[in-house]
A and B are shown apart, each in its own frame.
Chain A
């Protein structure tokens, strides 16, 4: 987590942010029409589908864009064609198919009536790009049965002939389609103020001025009234179990070994509960209403996170008694 001096409006607070990558690791079923196209790509061939008006649509679509009629008549087309539209990408991103400057093009393949959109590689030379220029498919060596079997298009008026050769028996019915998005997530103003206190080993809830409820952790407003929680209220690191569950199945990536107890805890001084772990406890003896106290990590390990508290344990010794 990184720190910066933000100039957020409202209450000034150091902005807390955390980079993360969100991955959608989908596998998609192709259906028969897209599947047929991808199967053909894998064999180094281009096919289109005939639209209701007789136009050859490439890549094929399942339904006619005008009449919505289901389309089923496939037509072979060439792996060469003409550029009907393009733009020049001077600074490619990591999401793009080529790492040096390239063009996106709409390419009407010979035998097709609608264009396919793909990258065009002119070795970084923008001056070669012209509407009407002839291009051909540059095929990948190891075809997978997806749109990236076309590496890109390249200038040329006849097929490269270097098409993938495979003997696949089964048609393409599935396609890996992972997507990753990068973010630098920022904690809200209220949450950031809370996390700054946690960093110091304190549980400091917030309430709206004149409000009834103290929120731990706060998210910016009193949800009941929609008023900003601008007042801070220090709570104890002693809490009451409001509810709990005993987890018996291992969670991938979670270092804690089951069975363990996850509980809704209401800190003394707060009006809403948060979720944390209970440990050093006989799991069968956990009950609603049980009093627990925080077991903090060593101070030198404290960061801007609730896991500064390793877990909560029963408030069971004489010296621990007190609180509410």
Chain B
């Protein structure tokens, strides 16, 4: 496999309510900034563009098509879209480069969740005969996953709270975070349960916003004279769609993806884990086989701000950004999709 360079990453602030901004107005600033950071003047300067979004979030049919208006696609560009987090748009773009069909790509993801009720929207991704008619929601499913972990006896509610304490503390250094600050485990455990055993702070906030990234071949990145991070490995694995048939306390798909992406080939300095619920960070960290020396979610992760459909891309961007800045040499980025960590993608990034 050919190394691929990440040359720029930009994300918007995570806000609960982006007001009037439509998809075009959310996408334009991050795309323009990502192109500029890569030293490019317009979308015409990349070979391929790919986006990730979900129209059900804001209830606007073909918002993903309307979003192309943000790009400046005249003359026509090569463009694609995934109805998934933009991390999967990154995967498609990475494949294009592997196949020699492109040397560079612009990737973006956007989500405006505020017009709808995200937890109910996500019911629609469940089994349409057995679960969706009951209105089983995301938070309830995650709560049962948390209980399966807690009742196995290896993890306590204090461990979940500690994940949140670290997230909020790390997010103090993230200007795009929605939630940040200094909290203690005892403070958080004193909060009431929302959907037991989860408390409100165990669940990610809901955010509006967008993120964009530019990738290219290493040769091109060198020619551009820009610092970059290198994608050394990438792998995506899926578990069964039936949540009741899974052992929710562990993540075999992360285990396999980590192995295939080469996580264990050398020591890991930093990891950004896409865990919308506190206990999921513990499950993924274990499945990745990371010990306590690894810095987890220096950005605060999605518990500090959740750009649904761009959060996976942001995890990759947050690791890349720190590697480019020279803070770390080798990092892991994780993206997830589906109920209770059903699908997982793992990337290994290294310094140039």
Contacts and interface: CB of A to CB of B under 8 A. Distances in A.
Interface of A: 6-10, 13, 15-17, 20, 22, 24, 28, 30, 34, 38, 57, 59, 61, 65, 85-90, 93, 95-97, 104, 106, 114-119, 126, 131, 146-148, 175, 177, 179, 181-192, 219-228
A114 B245 contact: yes
B338 to A, nearest CB: 14
Contacts of B18: 8-9
Given A95-B137, A177-B132, A226-B72, A189 B59 contact: no
B31 interface: yes
B43 interface: yes
Given A225-B74, A226-B31, 17 more contacts: A8-B18, A10-B25, A17-B115, A28-B128, A59-B129, A85-B248, A117-B134, A131-B151, A146-B133, A147-B134, A148-B134, A181-B124, A188-B20, A225-B42, A226-B69, A226-B73, A228-B25
Interface of B: 18-22, 24-25, 28-29, 31-32, 42-43, 56, 58-60, 66, 68-74, 114-117, 120-121, 123-124, 128-137, 140, 143-144, 146-148, 151, 193-198, 240, 242-245, 248
A224 B244 contact: no
Contacts of A95: 120, 123, 135, 137
A175 B24 contact: no
A224 B72 contact: yes
A259 B128 CA distance: 41
B21 A182 contact: no
B23 to A, nearest CB: 8
A187 B144 CA distance: 38
B148 to A, nearest CB: 6
Contacts of B198: 87
B288 to A, nearest CB: 23
B20 A90 contact: no
A219 B24 contact: yes
B60 A93 contact: no
B59 A183 contact: yes
Nearest to A33: B129
Given A10-B25, A93-B135, A106 B244 contact: yes
A183 B22 contact: no
Given A90-B193, A188-B25, A30 B69 contact: no
A126 B104 CA distance: 55
A220 B25 contact: yes
B32 A226 contact: yes
Contacts of B120: 93, 95, 181
Contacts of B146: 87
B101 to A, nearest CB: 23
Given A20-B59, A85-B148, A131-B151, A226 B245 contact: no
Nearest to A51: B245
A131 B18 CA distance: 42
A30 B248 CA distance: 27
Contact of B21 (A16, A184, A189): A189
Contacts of B129: 28, 30, 34, 38, 59, 146-147, 175, 177
Given A146-B133, A221-B28, A181 B59 contact: yes
17 contacts: A9-B19, A22-B59, A28-B129, A34-B130, A61-B245, A86-B144, A89-B140, A117-B131, A175-B129, A181-B59, A185-B59, A188-B21, A221-B70, A223-B73, A225-B42, A226-B42, A228-B28
Contacts of B240: 65
Contacts of A87: 140, 143-144, 146-147, 195-198
A186 B23 CA distance: 11
Contact of A148 (B25, B59, B133, B244): B133
Contacts of B21: 8-10, 188-189
A237 to B, nearest CB: 25
Contacts of B24: 188, 190, 219-221
A184 B22 contact: no
Of the listed residues B42, B136, B146, B198, the one surrounded by the most CB atoms of chain A closer than 10 A to its CB is B136
Contact of B244 (A90, A115, A146, A186): A115
A146 B134 CA distance: 10
A192 B147 contact: no
Nearest to B17: A6
Contacts of B197: 87
A20 B29 CA distance: 28
B242 A61 contact: yes
A183 B112 CA distance: 11
A24 B128 CA distance: 12
Given A88-B193, A181-B120, A226 B28 contact: yes
A17 B22 CA distance: 12
B270 to A, nearest CB: 30
Nearest to B12: A9
A146 B128 CA distance: 11
A22 B55 CA distance: 12
Contacts of A192: 20
Contacts of B242: 61, 65
A95 B117 CA distance: 11
Nearest to A113: B245
Contacts of A7: 19
Nearest to B25: A220
Of the listed residues B22, B69, B144, B244, the one surrounded by the most CB atoms of chain A closer than 10 A to its CB is B244
Nearest to A108: B244
Nearest to B19: A8
A184 B28 contact: no
B282 to A, nearest CB: 17
A57 B246 CA distance: 12
A185 B273 CA distance: 31
Nearest to B71: A226
Contacts of B137: 93, 95-96
A181 B72 CA distance: 33
